[in-house]
Amino acid sequence: MEKAIQVKELKKSYQQHQVLKNVNFDVEKGSIFALLGSNGAGKTTLVKILATLLKPDGGSAAVNGFEVTAQPEHVRQSISLTGQFAAVDEILTGRENLIMIAKLRHLKNSHQVADDLLKRFGLVDAADRRASTYSGGMRRRLDIAMSLIGKPRLIFLDEPTTGLDPEARIEVWNVVRELANSGTTVFLTTQYLEEAEQLADHIAILHEGRIIASGTLEELKKRFPPAKVEYIEKQPSLEEIFLAIISKKEAK
Quote the longest CA-to-CA distance of the chain.
62
CATH for 3-88+134-226, options being 3.30.1310.10, 3.40.50.2000, 3.40.50.2020, 3.40.50.300: 3.40.50.300
Which tens digits make up the pLDDT trace of 26-84? Answer: 999 999 999 988 888 889 899 999 999 999 999 999 999 999 999 999 999 999 988 76
* Mean residue pLDDT across the chain: 87
Contact residues for 180 (Cβ-Cβ < 8 A; gap 6+): 30, 31, 32, 186, 201
DSSP code for 132: G
Which tens digits make up the pLDDT trace of 168-210? Answer: 788 888 888 988 998 999 999 988 888 888 899 999 989 889 9
Distance CA 2, CA 64 (A): 9
**Confidence (pLDDT) at 48:** 94
Which tens digits make up the pLDDT trace of 121-166? Answer: 889 999 999 999 998 888 888 988 898 898 899 999 988 887 778 8
Would you call 109 exposed, middle or buried from its count of C-beta atoms within 10 A (0-12, 13-18, 19+)? exposed
C-alpha torsion 202→208→209→213, nearest 10: -30
Distance CA 41, CA 150 (A): 32
- 3-class SS at 99? helix
3-state secondary structure 155-194: EEEECCCCCCCHHHHHHHHHHHHHHHHCCCEEEEEECCHH
Structural contact between residues 126 and 134, judged by C-beta atoms closer than 8 angstroms? yes
Distance CA 95, CA 88 (A): 11
Distance CA 32, CA 154 (A): 10
Extents of the domains making up the chain = 3-88+134-226
**Confidence (pLDDT) at 226:** 67
